[in-house]
Structure 1
Amino acid sequence: MKFILRKLGFYVVALWGAMTLNFFLPRLMPGNPVDQLISKLSQHGPVTPETRHALELLLGADSSEPMWKQYINYFVSIFKGDLGVSVAYYPTKVSEVIGNTLPWTVGLVGLATIIAFALGIVLGAFAGWKRGSVIDNIIPVLTLFQSIPYFWLGLILLYFLSLKAGIFPLFGGYDVYTTTPGLTWEFISSVIYYGILPAVTIVLSSLGGWMLGMRNMMVSTLSEDYILVAEAKGLSPMKIMRSYAARNAVLPSISGFAISLGFVVSGSLVTETVFSYPGIGSALLTAVQSNDYALMQGIFLIITISVLGANLIMDLLYGFIDPRTRVQG
């Protein structure tokens, strides 16, 4: 219990620090979201000072309030679930924009990351167990994909498989002409079809790294004394590989997986830009271009929570998998 409370306390302090930075950083950026919105409204007529003040209150950017009061109101609004109004998608609320885009990102990047990790761990374990096998020899080929810049790999696949071969669509998250969003097989199949190429790009760019890391840890683990003892007991090779070697070799990869899973949201920016995918990465790019710091704060908050949440879960899981990490204090 002390181990869990100590970890929770650390992550609560880390969350507070990240939220504080999330409050100050957008306000230090050049530009003003109110001015951005007024420039759009001024095309339809003059904007009075009263209208400007009303917009400042609406966007939570009231310049008449001192910074400390804005800071307190920021935390109060977050705990109420009010993240403000987006300038880029005005008058849509930030929470609604995030709610509409986050499922696309989690479904695509999250699932692709889990698939790459699972495949990399399984194949890497076999590669380390059977050194010199076919699986072991394809690792250098897969690591080649990891060395290629992600956006370049995505553009290559788009050029050959979409533009030239016509197998996959060039952009989008689903067929907007023939399907409507909903829990129907027609829509779900369209989403899967449009997400195959981005998912393949993510898997190819990260599979080699997971395999190489797991393979090297397996080679190191197989030289340990407890593996020799297990062999002397007459245990089957599969039992030794699964329960003794792989179980201990996978521990460092779990930490790396926690970081990768936590950065699923923030790591989607390049993916969604290359494939014009309607996820939260595209919304973040739009927010930066429009100086929409309410939306930026909301997305950064989601990124912070996802990173800290994933690391907390994996940290606790790591403590139960390897009790040696639970330092008693």
Structure 2
Amino acid sequence: MRGLDLRYFVRRISMFFLVVFVAASFNFVIPRLAPGNPIGAITSRMANASAGIENGQAMFEAYRKRFGLDEPIYIQYGRYMWNTIRFDFGQSLSAYPADVSEIVRPAIGWSMGLIGVSVLITFALGVTIGALLAWRGTPRMVKAVLPITMIGGVLPYYLLAMLLLYIFAFTARVLPMSGAYDSGIRPELSGAYIGTIARHAVLPALSIILTSVGGWALTMRGLMVNTIGEDYMLLADAKGLPKRRILWWYSVRNAIPPQVVHLGIVLGYVVSGAILVEIVFSYPGLGYQLYQAIVNSDYTVIQGITLILAVSVALCVLIIDLIYPRLDPRVTYVAESSG
């Protein structure tokens, strides 16, 4: 690949696996440093629900043995790392005997559908708005209207989510308040099912898009300002090329690589979901499942979700790092790795 040699490629792959190993190790340690006992929390909830548990201590010990929490910490760590290599996250503590994968797999799909699409729409809008704000040929009326799109950036997305929820769900009642689809709709590939998914995704997606598009636009505007005065821009103008072609094929094309890098990193966080937005709208994504796992002290689900997040971010950074010489020919890793 242009701008990339084998030594650098191998080094980056090795660094990726090292990052995943360190992340997995922290993922094992950090939940166990938190106060409280997950098995104690489970038996306590069971006792409260049934006004007491007969032979509660025996049940407590049986749960600890079943999940391997009665063994030394180094044995737990070794078993955890071996299971992680096999993508076996075990069974949920709070939803036993459900496997962690049964909880995580559908949640990943919901988060990627909602957050992924929202991020891509935000990226496209932000790049377009930023480019038009910096371009001298943009009509004054358009330049006066476009900054309005950045107003949402002053609010955290969860506050805007609650505001949208109050206006469109509680007051106007034109959009649903929570969930991913209507309860009376069968989850199958049909127009009605797709339609209700889209309606439920409007408010969560708007809360993310409206609060994020301003940042993308401002960054793109700054990058465009740096490219407008370059020699290749003056040459393109001297050739008499159409203004639209100069804007998109010369200015935007050369200003956008840093934005693509940022997009890749942001997409790495997509699988985690927008936790607070998913909580506000009770959207069954991975962020909402992570919140429920934390509330219930469910070690196995917490470990599974956070490890997926760490691997996805590391993988996106790796991919962007390897393809960046293709995005920007000025960047090369050959000299660095061969020297």
- TM-score (structure 2 length as normaliser): 0.89
Structure 1 residue aligned with 2:82, among 76, 87, 91?
76
**Structure 1 regions of 5+ residues with no counterpart?**
none
Structure 1 residues 111 and 55: CA distance shift in structure 2, 3 A: same
Structure 1 residue aligned with 2:159, among 140, 152, 155?
152
Equivalent-residue separation in structure 1 for 2:15 and 2:231 (angstroms)? 36
Structure 2 residue aligned with 1:94, among 74, 96, 100?
100
Corresponding position of 1:290? 296
Structure 1 residues 186 and 247: CA distance shift in structure 2, 3 A: same
Corresponding position of 1:64? 71
Equivalent-residue separation in structure 1 for 2:325 and 2:18 (angstroms)? 20
Q: Shift of residue 139 of structure 1?
A: 4.2
1:51-84 Cα distance to aligned partner (Å, 9 max, x none): 44442243242x332x222222111111222212
Q: Shift of residue 35 of structure 1?
A: 1.7
Q: Shift of residue 287 of structure 1?
A: 0.9
Structure 2 residue aligned with 1:271, among 277, 280, 295?
277
Q: Shift of residue 111 of structure 1?
A: 0.8
Task: Report if the CA contact (8 A) 1:58-1:85 is conserved.
Answer: no
| Mapped pair 1:254 → 2:260 | yes
Q: Shift of residue 40 of structure 1?
A: 4.1
| Mapped pair 1:55 → 2:53 | no
Structure 2 residue aligned with 1:140, among 147, 151, 160?
147
Corresponding position of 2:179? 172
Corresponding position of 1:30? 35
Q: Shift of residue 223 of structure 1?
A: 0.8
Structure 1 residues 310 and 198: CA distance shift in structure 2, 3 A: same
Q: Shift of residue 41 of structure 1?
A: 4.7
Corresponding position of 2:54? 45
Task: Report if the CA contact (8 A) 1:88-1:286 is conserved.
Answer: no
Corresponding position of 2:187? 181
Residue 223 of structure 2 aligns with an amino acid whose one-letter code is M
1:123-158 Cα distance to aligned partner (Å, 9 max, x none): 322222235633433343222211112111111111
| Mapped pair 1:19 → 2:24 | yes
Equivalent-residue separation in structure 2 for 1:210 and 1:201 (angstroms)? 15
1:7-65 Cα distance to aligned partner (Å, 9 max, x none): 2222221111111110111111111222223334554421354x44442243242x332
Q: Secondary structure at the match of 1:291?
A: coil
Q: Secondary structure at the match of 1:138?
A: helix
Q: Shift of residue 267 of structure 1?
A: 4.5
Equivalent-residue separation in structure 2 for 1:229 and 1:5 (angstroms)? 40
1:194-220 Cα distance to aligned partner (Å, 9 max, x none): 111111111111111111211221122
- TM-score (structure 1 length as normaliser): 0.92
Task: Report if the CA contact (8 A) 2:92-2:100 is conserved.
Answer: yes
1:256-297 Cα distance to aligned partner (Å, 9 max, x none): 212221122335101111111111111111111111111110
**Structure 2 regions of 5+ residues with no counterpart?**
none
Equivalent-residue separation in structure 2 for 1:45 and 1:53 (angstroms)? 13
Corresponding position of 1:238? 244
Q: Secondary structure at the match of 2:56?
A: coil
Structure 1 residues 139 and 13: CA distance shift in structure 2, 3 A: farther
Task: Report if the CA contact (8 A) 1:26-1:293 is conserved.
Answer: yes
Corresponding position of 1:190? 196
Equivalent-residue separation in structure 1 for 2:60 and 2:173 (angstroms)? 50
Q: Secondary structure at the match of 2:272?
A: coil
Task: Report if the CA contact (8 A) 1:127-1:133 is conserved.
Answer: no
Equivalent-residue separation in structure 2 for 1:289 and 1:218 (angstroms)? 45
Task: Report if the CA contact (8 A) 1:139-1:212 is conserved.
Answer: no
Corresponding position of 1:221? 227
Aligned pair count reads 325
Percent pairwise identity? 36
1:156-185 Cα distance to aligned partner (Å, 9 max, x none): 111111111111011111111x21222222
Equivalent-residue separation in structure 2 for 1:258 and 1:38 (angstroms)? 43
Q: Considering only aligned residues, what root-mean-square deviation do their CA atoms show, in Å? A: 1.9
Structure 1 residues 325 and 17: CA distance shift in structure 2, 3 A: farther
Q: Which segment drifts farther, 266-275 or 299-308? A: 266-275
Corresponding position of 2:111? 105
Residue 45 of structure 1 aligns with an amino acid whose one-letter code is E
